[in-house]
Amino acid sequence: MQHSAKILVVDDDPNILELIKLYAEMEDFEVIGVKNGDLALSAFNQENPDVIILDIMLPGADGITLCRNFREIRMVPIIMLTAKGEEADRVLGLEMGADDYVSKPFSPRELIARIKAILRRTKILDTSEHLNIKYPGLEIMSDLRKILVNDEEVEMTPKEFDLICYLAQNPLRVFSRENLLSAVWGCDYFGDQRTVDVHVRRLRKKLAPLDHEYLTTIWGVGYKFTPPLKVKEVSYE
């Protein structure tokens, strides 16, 4: 029997914890609430959640630090909660590895929709046809969800991996930011296009040791994956 998705909510506001718990349990999600950032890591290790809802401003360890710490342990989807208008915090959260963000005050139905989109996308990618592709210096193994850069494994957040895998499956095709948000984040994603830009910037940093520039910006349009003239190997399993 498939287990219900487990959500770890880290927020010091008891009203927000209760609100998320109420709506999430209506969708048969299991919710673990933590009010203090210092307790979040132990809850993460003990509960092994499928998704994390993480406030930025917390007593103890702050959300940005926790996001980075979670990423060092396991690549679990993270949705950041930010105060309205804190654009710098939202961008910083994405830079630290968050997959999505929701601004306070938020609609609990919108938050649940985003959780469902992340879980649905993860399930689709886990059960889809496996693509293993090798370019000079770059190997993408979707069956293992691993990326090798110059034969060294590079850690990717779930959305970073999804994004480069999607682009690599469609080399030379130009995608607008709207296209990528729909394909990688889901058609019911509510965030803005800056999310795509931040993830592409992070990917470029991780691919920086390569001699070839794989991610190309098409100004005024979006992005494309540009392989070298000769592809070494592509295999489907």
pLDDT digits (tens, 9 = 90+) for 69-90: 887 777 788 898 887 556 666 6
pLDDT in tens, 50-60: 899 999 888 88
Domain segments of the chain as ranges: 6-126, 129-236
Among the four given CATH numbers 3.40.50.2300, 3.40.50.850, 1.20.1250.20, 3.40.50.300, the one describing domain 6-126: 3.40.50.2300
d(CA 193, CA 215) in angstroms, rounded, equals 17
pLDDT in tens, 25-46: 988 899 999 998 888 888 888 8
Residue 235 burial (10 A CB sphere; 0-12, 13-18, 19+) = exposed
pLDDT at 188: 54
Task: Establish whether domains 6-126 and 129-236 are of one fold.
Answer: no
Query: Which CATH architecture best describes the domain 129-236?
Result: Orthogonal Bundle (1.10)
Q: Mean pLDDT, to the nearest integer, of 225-233?
A: 69
C-alpha dihedral (107, 96, 175, 180), degrees to nearest 10: -30
Decide if 140 contacts 133 (C-beta within 8 A): yes
